[in-house]
């Protein structure tokens, strides 16, 4: 199933724009409860004004909130990235640590965010268990676990470590474009014949094809 999906999405990659680990870390924190497209509209202004951890840690909160307003929950997100930047400055000399055990101690950073940063900006393989990945691996019958950490370990045991980051991207692409939460496009799915959940969505090929979203996707 992974091989087939990888062929369907040869361009699967992180859809957040970034130039370095710091930018990806902040962007991933901001992506909670909004779309990558929205975050990508905000981050050029954000990083032009506050290009590194030291600058962001010293940002005026009111000004920062206004920049982050389009992402939703902008007050709490401003508080999170201010605390995150301060953590980086105080504990890591302004640099993003390269170990999961260190990343998850930073303000507002969980395993999902840490694995995104490690896999896409540091080159350390990781499985990102967001809502799409969790939904798909359960539909595929790869695991019955609900807890994201247990899902991460269960899927990690099925695939070689070198595949983890790319696997995450492929599953996220498929979840955003075809295997939707509410109405999956089963009739347009390349792994339909292998999927034990085939039929939970639209099976008519023509109707299913209309449900498939092209990239970049603007909604989860």
- Neighbouring C-beta atoms of residue 88, cutoff 10 Å: 24
* pLDDT for 218: 39
Per-residue b or e along 166-188, where b marks 16 or more CB atoms closer than 10 Å to that residue's CB: bbbbbbbbbbbbbbbeeebbbbb
SS3 (DSSP) at 48: helix
pLDDT of the residue at 30: 97
- Whole-number mean pLDDT of the chain? 95
In sign, the C-alpha dihedral spanning 156, 159, 162, 164 is negative
pLDDT at 93 exceeding the cut of 80: yes
Catalytic residue, chosen from 77, 112, 150, 207, is: 112
Query: Could you tell me which CATH class the domain 21-122 is placed in?
Result: mainly alpha
Is the pLDDT score of 120 beyond 70?
Answer: yes
Q: Is 130 considered catalytic here?
A: yes
Alpha-carbon span 131 to 181, nearest angstrom: 9
Question: Which option is the CATH number for 127-211: 1.10.1670.10, 3.90.1150.10, 3.30.1490.20, 3.40.640.10?
Answer: 1.10.1670.10
For residue 217, the model assigns a pLDDT of 46
> Which tens digits make up the pLDDT trace of 189-219?
999 999 999 999 999 999 999 999 986 543 3
The reported pLDDT for the residue numbered 184 is 98
Q: How many residues does the chain have?
A: 220
Tens-place pLDDT, residues 138-157: 999 999 999 999 999 999 99
Q: How many helical (H) and strand (E) elements, i.e. helices and strands, does the chain have?
A: 12, 0
* Cβ–Cβ under 8 Å, residues 113 and 103: yes
pLDDT tens-digit profile of 30-87? 999 999 999 999 999 999 999 999 999 999 999 999 999 999 999 999 999 999 999 9
Q: Answer yes or no: 11 catalytic.
A: no
Question: Domain map of the chain by residue range?
Answer: 21-122, 127-211
Asked whether the whole model's pTM tops 0.85, one would answer yes
What pLDDT was estimated at residue 214? 85
pLDDT at 216: 54
Per-residue pLDDT band at 16 (split at 50, 70, 90): very high
Choice among 120, 130, 147, 166 that is catalytic: 130
């Amino acid at each position: 199933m992974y091989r087939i999906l990888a062929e369907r999405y040869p361009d699967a990659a992180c859809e957040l724009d970034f130039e370095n680990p710091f930018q990806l870390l902040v962007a991933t924190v901001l992506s909670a409860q909004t779309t990558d497209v929205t975050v990508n509209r905000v981050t050029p202004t954000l990083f032009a004004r506050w290009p590194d951890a030291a600058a962001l840690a010293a940002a005026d909160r009111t000004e920062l909130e206004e920049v982050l307003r389009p992402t939703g929950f902008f007050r709490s997100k401003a508080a999170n990235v201010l605390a995150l930047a301060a953590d980086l400055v105080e504990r890591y000399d302004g640099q993003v640590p390269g170990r999961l055990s260190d990343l998850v101690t930073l303000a507002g950073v969980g395993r999902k965010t840490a694995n995104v940063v490690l896999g896409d900006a540091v080159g350390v393989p990781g499985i990102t268990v967001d809502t799409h990945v969790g939904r798909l691996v359960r539909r595929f019958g790869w695991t019955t676990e609900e807890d994201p950490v247990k899902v991460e370990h269960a899927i990690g045991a099925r695939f070689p470590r070198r595949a983890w980051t790319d696997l995450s991207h492929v599953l996220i692409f498929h979840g955003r474009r075809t295997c939707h939460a509410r109405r999956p496009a089963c009739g347009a799915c390349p792994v339909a014949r292998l999927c034990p959940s085939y039929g939970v969505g639209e099976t008519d090929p023509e109707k299913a094809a209309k449900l498939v979203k092209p990239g970049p996707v603007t909604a989860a």
